Amino acid sequence: MYENTTRQMMKWVAGLVATIAMLPTLAAWELNMPKGITDSSQEIYGLHMLIFYVCVWIGVVVFSVMIYSIIKHRKSVHPEPATFTHSNVAEVTWTAVPVIILIVMAYPAAKTLVKLEDSSASDLTIQVTGYQWNWHYEYPEEGISFYSRLSQEANIARQVNSGIDPTSVPNYLRDVDNPMVVPVGKKIRLLLTAADVIHAWWVPELTGKRDAIPGFVNSLWFKANRTGTFRGQCAELCGRDHGFMPIVVKVLSEADYAAWVRDRADTGMTAAVTTAATDSAADAGAAALDPPVAVAAAASTSGGDAAPDMTALILKGESVYAQHCVACHQANGQGLPPAFPALTAGAITTGPIDGHINIILNGSPGTAMIAFGALLSDADIAAVVTYERNALGNSVGDMAAPADVAALRGE
Amino acid sequence: MSEAIRKYYVPHGSAWPIIGSVSLFLLAFGAGNWLNDGAIGRYMVYAGTAGLLYMVFGWFGEVIRESVSGIFGRREDSSFRQGMIWFIMSEVMFFAGFFGALFYARQLAIPWLGGEGANIFTNLLLWSGFEPAWPTNGPGGLGGTFEPMPWKGLPLINTALLLTSSVTITIAHHALIDGNRKLLKWGLAATFVLGFLFLGLQVEEYYEAYVHLNLKLSTGIYGSTFFMLTGFHGAHVTLGSIMLVVIWLRVLRGHFTPTHHFGFEAVAWYWHFVDVVWLGLFIFVYIL
Amino acid sequence: MTSHAAEHHDEHHHGPEKGLKRWLFATNHKDIGTMYLVFALAMFFVGGAMAFVIRAELFQPGLQFVDPGFFNQMTTMHALFMIFGGVMPAFVGLANWMIPLQVGAPDMALPRMNNWSFWILPFAFTMLFSTLFMDGGAPAGGWTLYPPLVLQTGNAFPFVILSVHMMGISSIMGSINVIVTIMNMRAPGMTMLKMPLFTWTWLITAYLLILAMPVLAAAVTMLLTDHYAATSFFNAAGGGDPVMFQHIFWFFGHPEVYIMILPAFGVISEIIPTFARKKLFGYSAMVYATASIAFLSFIVWAHHMFTVGMPLSGELFFMFATMLIAVPTGVKVFNWVSTMWRGSMTFETPMLFAVAFVFLFTIGGFSGLMLAIVPADFQYHDTYFVVAHFHYVLVPGAVFGIMAGVYYWLPKWSGNMYNEKLGKLHFWLSTIFVNVTFFPQHFLGLAGMPRRIPDYATQFADFNLISSIGAFVFGLSQLLFVYIIWQCVRGGTKATDEVWEGSHGLEWTLPSPAPYHSFELPPTVR
Ligand code: HEA
Ligand code: HEA
Ligand code: CUA
Ligand SMILES: [Cu+2]
């Protein structure tokens, strides 16, 4: 029995050691950390492999001694145990040697760290703000700003029991509507913060991650050595949809980057533009998330005496809702009480319309309900208010005009 | 039997702990429910508190009876002593958590919000115009304009009260050892009177703060640390004062002997601990 | 060593009370120890069931079973149940049973308080479990309870915090009892440096608990007031800082992880000499190493927060301090190996678990060391590499330590030998599948899979599948463990007093099963 067990155990250990040793050669299977395309990420990779091999070798030595002992010093082979109980030489050695090994590891680590923490002398600064659950990018020098969230296709596929095979979705959970765009060969500095809870911005091939903390600004830098599209995702638990706030960075050549900036400047890529895209989607009747049955019904019941553009407004409102509000208040408007209130038959959503516009414009301080006034255009807010009042099980029957929103904004 | 081979006293079965557990559960569950505006919470809290009080009196009463009957030897006594010391140590660490928050906020968080170190952008982008200073209610000015609590008024008097009470309890202790029962009674009484006086003045101080200084729990980090530290300290003074009264009543009944008075000493240690915490508070919360 | 306690029957001798009273009113360290162990076993299975939900959802990409919010609740509750309900009470159970026996004491020093420490726990965990049925569900912000996220918890919020308070009260009272018992109740001649290592490691663990648990209590109290009393400890607008919570939490949290491993070190240090039939190598070095680990554990906490944007000097300090822990831990590993060296070993189940512990804990320690390297941690942090690290030190570390201890002492507790064949089977199933479960998670983390996500990009599918299969088999194997214990308690071959050929120490001088009252009069230790 003992014989047997040992042999089994040995095989298993050998297998394990072999697996560890094979790890780097299997890199093609995404077993290892990516080398990345920046000097920083490659330096980190180098450090990672250094410590890894140090550990493997210590492991090999320690485990070999143990395995040898397990074989040779078992009772059946070695019936008389030795009686030694300590050895000063051995004990001093195995205290001192690890200390030396650690110093050898700590030195390059410290050097790399100093470099990573130096974000001065950057060529381009981008302000990144984490929201539950999307990212906002702002290029202050170029006057560009936009939101970036999980691509619609993946968003549909990732619903519980959506019936859609994730492998059929390209870059499932790793694709966004508006990627961050940067020029190659420039030192990019990110200024990270968050609006609600802590998030972390991470694209492994560019550099390590850094937390985006509400009320504080952290910085992080990278300098891409080649062009391409690089993917990552939020790396700090930030609530329900933490797994669904990807990050995509497009590294363009300088010329392409300049063209992109010009393009954005022309269309004024601000919050309003993000929704311009969805406007057309809504117009085309392609409000993707939920079949707009409920909406249509609500629109038709109240459509008679309301202004003729109510249906359009509701359709547009639905897509705004699907983009910005559904995460918390849910597709059916039931919310996730008590953290996220239901909008169906809510005091505010069925109360005076000014109050309704107001909470969307200004949010509710201290809660996850942020001030959407800064993110959405007047038209969007008017649309989503109208949608909420006449769909999701509500049928108040009135509607908000962009001018109403503008008026309240002024106060 | 000589002490060395004397049997250690192991009680056989006791209902007090389970009563305590049920009460603690009622208290905690009730408090949770109450905080959620539940209907039954407050009654559970009342029941739990009553149960805990019942347990404390019952349990300690039993221990006191055992003690008086003389079944505790040197080792039992030593167990109680060491237990008390480590309990106080855990209390010290509890306060250390809040002091840590105070130091962190003053030494790190607030300077960072003001742009120190690598945090220029924190200040520029999010809190521009915020000047780090202490006391502060933060860059958001939470709670509105307030005045800090000056140390020269009530707090200074309170310091004097507590320091005096430390002296009186030491006098009482020496009196106990010397068999001077009269001094013992008076020293102890003086101690808890000083304790209650302290509490009275603290209530007065809180009233000042809320009504005249606009200094509240919600007054940013200054209000938060101020009330949490002084509040938890006050709660400990309350507990300590009640224990002093109990000990005093026991003295009146003649419970302690010059050589055998663990209960007295435990309370004295606790009182000194409360005193030392206050000195820390006085220096770091009020003066500096 | 001699013992005359067991044979002493005098007028005060009585056995256990009858029925429920025996357990509700218990003051006997063995009864309380048994309750702790049974409770921990139950909580392990509750936590294990939650791990099942996690692994089932992660079995393949896409969301099949649960809502993402519920997934986060499972992750949070799994950790809280495993750590506070499983590992810690299991070790307190072992301490209750073994420390009085090992130091030659009649019982724990403060028997009534001992009862209270235990009975708080079932209530605390009932309360914690009940949060699953509350409005807004159980806490879903991770076991680390970081604000501001945790402030979004629904009705469960105050209940979680108050249950953590209850667990803290229980742990503090439990550790006071351990310290006092060890310092005050040792038999004559049992000097500190003659104490068995399990007792030593528990003594040091108890100090860690007393210094760390109240800090957690303070931290969660501040969460409570931030939520309900509008304080601004963790709110920048009021001059606080969300990261401040992390510092205070990890000041508790890092010592906490050693609280979960030091007693396991103790168990292993008992078992290896027994089955190697050779004295523990470097006894005093082991004691000093344990103390050094405990000391260092208080100055490394910020290695959990390298990505929050600490000043460079802080990052360097915490990196160096963390790396240093490898030295005393290495001393322990080397001493275990040297104890085995030229011994005369047999491999009964406890020894198998102990040997696997040394291998697999070391692997977990290595990944810990890798995490300590700050630039590399910028990549590893909050990925499955971290999940792999801590499950290696916790499952084949702490949990194997518990299992080894249970197999080792079970014959002494029950008077019967367990079924060695089944024990070995349990060992092999556990050891193989714990690796199948957690080894691939290293790869996932390195390839970029973050932790605490219910769904993942498709390139992570293969290893998640393997890991889930491993988890299912590993979890089911534990039912075998329960069966083995049950069978052993019911009957079987009578165990001798020594139980193991190479056993050493006071506990083996008592009859098996250990009498209800042992060492009423202290034995003399020479
Ligand atoms: C039992 C629990 C336990 C133990 C013992 C350890 C042991 C160690 N841990 Fe681990 N750790 C956890 C439980 C534990 N950890 C948990 C639960 C988390 C995650 C918490 C969360 O976020 O939820 C965590 C996270 C964690 C992090 C944060 C990672 C991150 O979030 O980014 C780090 C970083 O430094 C770390 C480091 C270490 C180190 C250096 C050790 C060392 O003690 C290891 C020392 C041992 C060895 C090194 C092996 C043996 C030594 C030799 C053979 C000698 C020679 C060796 C050399 C010289 C290399 N741990
Ligand atoms: C001691 C602690 C412990 C233990 C034992 C386990 C056990 C397991 N854990 Fe867990 N886990 C954590 C502590 C632990 N875990 C922590 C701290 C986290 C982080 C949470 C967070 O992010 O906030 C985590 C997170 C975590 C994740 C990541 C979730 C996420 O990021 O979303 C996963 C995923 O696979 C996982 C899986 C498992 C599995 C399959 C087991 C299996 O091993 C479970 C199988 C069952 C058992 C091991 C119990 C059997 C034990 C016995 C039978 C012993 C009996 C003893 C006596 C007789 C007293 N755990
Ligand atoms: Cu945002 Cu996770
Ligand atoms: Cu740690």
The CATH code of the domain that includes B64 is: 1.10.287.70
Mean pLDDT along residues C11-34? 81
According to the model, what pLDDT value does residue B5 have?
A: 56
A199 Cβ below 6 A of ligand 3: yes
Ligand found nearest the CA of C56:
2
Would you say the C-alpha torsion C397, C399, C402, C406 has a positive or negative sign?
Answer: negative
Would you say the C-alpha torsion C358, C359, C360, C363 has a positive or negative sign?
Answer: positive
A130 Cβ below 6 A of ligand 3: yes
Q: How far is CA A246 from the centre of its chain?
A: 4
Tokens standing for C131?
């949060």
Of the candidates A55, A95, A166, which has its C-beta nearest C369's C-beta?
A: A55
In this predicted structure, the answer to whether residue C7 has a pLDDT above a threshold of 80 is: no
Q: How far apart are CA A282 and CA A152, in angstroms?
A: 13
According to the model, what pLDDT value does residue C162 have?
A: 96
Q: How many domains does chain B have?
A: 2
In terms of domains, do B37 and B111 share one? no
According to the model, what pLDDT value does residue C6 have?
A: 39
Q: How many CB atoms lie within 10 A of CB C224?
A: 19
Find the Cα–Cα–Cα–Cα dihedral C490, C493, C495, C500, rounded to 10°: -120
In terms of domains, do B83 and B142 share one? yes
According to the model, what pLDDT value does residue A39 have?
A: 92
Chain B: touching chains (3 or more CB pairs < 8 Å):
A, C
By the 8 A CB rule, do A215 and A182 touch?
no
Q: Is C14 exposed, middle or buried (0-12, 13-18, 19+ CB in 10 A)?
A: exposed
According to the model, what pLDDT value does residue A17 have?
A: 58
In terms of domains, do B66 and B146 share one? no
In terms of domains, do B18 and B102 share one? no
In this predicted structure, the answer to whether residue B154 has a pLDDT above a threshold of 60 is: yes
Half-sphere exposure (Cβ direction) of C174: Cα atoms closer than 13 Å: 33
Q: How far apart are CA B8 and CA B142, in angstroms?
A: 58
According to the model, what pLDDT value does residue A209 have?
A: 94
Mean pLDDT along residues B110-116? 90
According to the model, what pLDDT value does residue A23 have?
A: 52
According to the model, what pLDDT value does residue A12 have?
A: 60
**Could you list the active site residues of C?**
78, 107, 143, 170-171, 254, 256, 258, 269, 303-304, 329, 332, 451
Distances (CA, A) of A254 to A37, A128, A183, A268: 17, 21, 5, 20
Residue from C144, C165, C167 nearest C88 by CA: C167
The tens digit of pLDDT for each residue in C470-490 reads 999 999 999 999 999 999 999
Q: How many CB atoms lie within 10 A of CB C391?
A: 23
According to the model, what pLDDT value does residue B211 have?
A: 92
Q: How far is CA C261 from the centre of its chain?
A: 6
According to the model, what pLDDT value does residue C481 have?
A: 96
Q: Directed axis angle between helix B74-104 and helix C156-184, to 10°?
A: 140
By the 8 A CB rule, do A42 and A225 touch?
no
Rounded to the nearest whole angstrom, what is the distance from the C-alpha of residue C452 to the centroid of ligand 4? 18
Q: Whose CA is nearest to atom 18 of ligand 2?
A: C79
Q: How many CB atoms lie within 10 A of CB C269?
A: 25
Q: Which domain holds residue B26?
A: 1-72
**Element housing C426 (H / E):** helix C420-446
In this predicted structure, the answer to whether residue B250 has a pLDDT above a threshold of 80 is: yes
Q: How many CB atoms lie within 10 A of CB C474?
A: 23
Q: How far apart are CA A152 and CA A174, in angstroms?
A: 12
Q: A294 versus C232: which is more confidently predicted?
A: C232
Interface contact C231-B223, CB threshold 8 A: yes
In this predicted structure, the answer to whether residue C5 has a pLDDT above a threshold of 60 is: no
Which residues on adjacent β-strands are paired with residue A212?
A199
In terms of domains, do B206 and B188 share one? yes
Rounded to the nearest whole angstrom, what is the distance from the C-alpha of residue C78 to the centroid of ligand 2? 6
In terms of domains, do B126 and B180 share one? yes
Tokens standing for C108?
């724990």
In terms of domains, do B120 and B157 share one? yes
Interface contact A51-C279, CB threshold 8 A: no
Q: Which residues of chain C neighbour B98 with C-beta distances below 8 Å? A: 218, 222
Confidence bin at B53 (pLDDT 50/70/90): very high
Q: How far apart are CA A185 and CA A172, in angstroms?
A: 29
Q: Is C373 exposed, middle or buried (0-12, 13-18, 19+ CB in 10 A)?
A: buried
DSSP of B28-58: HHHHHHHHTT-SSHHHHHHHHHHHHHHHHHH
Tokens standing for B206?
């809180």
Confidence bin at C10 (pLDDT 50/70/90): very low
Residue from A81, A80, A70 nearest A3 by CA: A70
Q: C3 versus C79: which is more confidently predicted?
A: C79
Q: Which residues of chain C neighbour A81 with C-beta distances below 8 Å? A: 276-278, 342-344
Strands A246-252 and A180-183: parallel
Examine the fold and report which residue of B72, B91, B116 is the final residue of a domain before the chain moves on: B72
Interface ipTM: 0.90
Q: How many CB atoms lie within 10 A of CB A227?
A: 18
Best substitution site from C72, C78, C260 to test ligand 2's pocket, by max atoms within 8 Å of Cβ?
C78
Q: How far apart are CA A311 and CA A298, in angstroms?
A: 9
Q: Return the residue of C nearest to A43 by Cα.
A: C375
Q: What CATH number should be reported for the domain holding residue B160?
A: 1.20.120.80
In terms of domains, do B142 and B247 share one? yes
Ramachandran angles phi, psi of A148, nearest 5°: -135, 120
Tokens standing for B105?
């906020």
Ligand found nearest the CA of C320:
1
Mean pLDDT along residues C389-400? 96
According to the model, what pLDDT value does residue B2 have?
A: 43
Find the Cα–Cα–Cα–Cα dihedral A294, A296, A299, A303, rounded to 10°: -150
Residue A180 DSSP SS3: strand
In terms of domains, do B40 and B84 share one? no
The tens digit of pLDDT for each residue in C412-433 reads 999 999 999 999 999 999 999 9
Q: Is C519 left (phi over 0), alpha (psi -120 to 50) or beta?
A: left
In terms of domains, do B237 and B142 share one? yes
Average pLDDT, chain B: 90
In terms of domains, do B62 and B78 share one? no
Query: Going residue by residue through chain A (411 aa), what tens digit of pLDDT does each one get?
Result: 444 555 555 566 566 555 555 554 444 456 888 888 999 999 999 999 999 999 999 999 999 999 999 999 999 888 888 888 888 899 999 999 999 999 999 999 999 999 998 887 888 999 999 998 899 999 988 888 888 989 888 888 888 878 888 888 888 999 998 999 999 999 999 999 999 999 999 999 999 999 999 999 999 999 999 999 999 999 999 998 999 999 999 999 999 999 999 888 766 544 433 443 333 333 333 333 333 333 333 333 443 444 457 777 887 888 788 777 877 787 778 887 777 888 888 888 888 888 888 888 888 876 778 788 877 888 888 888 888 888 887 888 788 888 888 888 776
Q: Return the residue of C nearest to B80 by Cα.
A: C110
Q: How far apart are CA A254 and CA C242, in angstroms?
A: 39
The tens digit of pLDDT for each residue in B63-85 reads 888 888 888 888 888 899 999 99
Confidence bin at C156 (pLDDT 50/70/90): very high
According to the model, what pLDDT value does residue A347 have?
A: 84
In terms of domains, do B166 and B46 share one? no
According to the model, what pLDDT value does residue B1 have?
A: 39
Interface contact A219-B112, CB threshold 8 A: no
According to the model, what pLDDT value does residue B227 have?
A: 95
Q: Which residues of chain C neighbour B221 with C-beta distances below 8 Å? A: 232-233, 238-240
Examine the fold and report which residue of B72, B100, B120 is the final residue of a domain before the chain moves on: B72
Examine the fold and report which residue of B48, B72, B96 is the final residue of a domain before the chain moves on: B72
By the 8 A CB rule, do C170 and C121 touch?
yes
Residue A209 DSSP SS3: strand
Residue B109 makes CB contacts below 8 A (sequence gap 6+) with B221, C236, C239, C240, C241, C244
Best substitution site from C208, C304, C338, C384 to test ligand 1's pocket, by max atoms within 8 Å of Cβ?
C304
Residue C154 DSSP SS3: coil
